Amino acid sequence: MRAYKVLAPGRGEMVDIERPQPGPSEVLLRVAATGVCHSDVFIRDAIPALKMSLPVTLGHEVVGVIEELGVGVSGWTPGQQAAAYVMRGCGSCAPCRRGLDNFCHVGYLGLGTHFDGGMAEFMAIPADAIADASGLDPIAAAPLTDAGLTALHTVNSIDRGRPDPERIMIIGIGGLGHLALQIATYRFHAEIIAVDRDPKALELARKLGADSTVLARGSEAAEILAWAGGREIDVVLDFVGSDSTLALAAAVTNRGAQILVAGLGGGSVPFQAVSVSTVAPEVSLLRVSAGSRHELAEALDLGRAGVMHAETVVYPLEQAGRAIDDINEGKVIGRAVLVP
């Protein structure tokens, strides 16, 4: 079968390999669609922090049809459509025992990073790491398994113990941000302002229900303060995570606000135990990570209900490398999806 593998840091190639066989408690998926994520850029680079063992097949947003059952698998039958869960926790710590692999105390391993993923024609995966994806177009469903999952977890992390937000700011209307915007619009009767440096992304934000948009060009803090009437943003969802976006989030929030950071832009914002600080008192700052097995099922349900739909650009599997390059160069609005 054909698969796109990282053979060495920065070197990804389409190769011919043996079709995997499902081991005990595993299923074999015939891959129908695999999403391509911006994280595939640095996974292909095999950055040291990931502690990868090469070669490995990329692809962590996978929907397929069950082809074969391994020994001991029950509850699934060949022909069912299923979606892969993006991570694998230790299975032993308290969060993992509750299906919260994203909170694993040992540290989770990633599909398409630490074990072979779905940029291939077939993929073997533990049966307890898939969810029912019946009734969904696989091309539409694939991005929901990570981008949709993380966007949902980010919105779910808004503190329901506080009053519902009146104003929500979403920074970065890319692969995750445009999905979070849809969920936030569905969940809250709030004014939503979208911030991005790409006019096309802001056009998409307006199409998806944003009340206002701001082009990131250095003056966005003043525009948002004018729009909100001061530091009156209740919730910030930051899907960039750079120094500038975190500074923007701090500049427009006030006491009682929440800043939720899903982006991995390498930024930071100072936490200062002083009376006058960059981040206002009583503002909570949370870095979120992926989502739980339960949230994967919830994300697929939102897809079935038409609440969350990814904008997609489809590539054949053989163009996996090009799709990753296009994402890295900012040529894809929404999500790229590979189809074998």
pLDDT of the residue at 277: 86
pLDDT of the residue at 333: 85
Phi and psi torsions of 227, nearest 5°: -65, -40
74: three-class secondary structure by DSSP: coil
Give the integer Cα–Cα distance in Å for 90 and 239.
Answer: 27
87 with 178, same domain: the answer is: no
Give the domain range for residue 324: 2-149+290-339
CA 126, distance to chain mean position in Å, is: 21
243 with 313, same domain: the answer is: no
pLDDT of the residue at 208: 96
Instruction: Give 286's contacts (C-beta < 8 A, 6+ positions apart).
Output: 157, 258, 259, 260, 261
| 167-171 vs 191-196, strand pairing mode | parallel
pLDDT of the residue at 275: 82
pLDDT tens digits in sequence order for the chain, 340 residues long:
999 999 999 999 999 999 999 999 999 999 999 999 989 998 999 999 889 999 999 999 999 999 999 999 999 999 999 999 999 999 899 999 998 999 999 888 999 999 999 999 999 999 999 999 999 999 999 999 999 999 999 999 998 788 899 999 999 999 999 999 999 999 999 999 999 999 999 999 999 999 999 999 988 999 999 999 999 999 999 999 999 999 999 999 999 999 999 998 899 999 888 888 899 899 999 999 889 999 999 999 999 999 999 999 999 999 999 999 999 998 998 899 999 9
246: three-class secondary structure by DSSP: helix
Which CA distances in Å does 312 have to 8, 134, 179, 278, 333? 29, 19, 12, 38, 8
Give the integer Cα–Cα distance in Å for 237 and 216.
Answer: 15
Q: Is 172 left (phi over 0), alpha (psi -120 to 50) or beta?
A: left
Residue 30 pairs in a beta bridge with: 65, 122
208: CATH: 3.40.50.720
pLDDT of the residue at 284: 93
137 with 173, same domain: the answer is: no
Number of H helices and E strands in the chain, helices first, is: 10, 18
pLDDT of the residue at 190: 96
Q: Let me know: does 207 contact 183? Beta carbons within 8 Å.
A: no
168 with 265, same domain: the answer is: yes
Instruction: Give 193's contacts (C-beta < 8 A, 6+ positions apart).
Output: 167, 168, 169, 170, 210, 211, 212, 213, 214, 224, 227, 228, 233
274 with 202, same domain: the answer is: yes
20 with 138, same domain: the answer is: yes
35 with 139, same domain: the answer is: yes
282 with 301, same domain: the answer is: no
143 with 255, same domain: the answer is: no
Number of domains within the chain: 2
pLDDT of the residue at 186: 96
205 with 260, same domain: the answer is: yes
Q: Let me know: does 274 contact 291? Beta carbons within 8 Å.
A: no
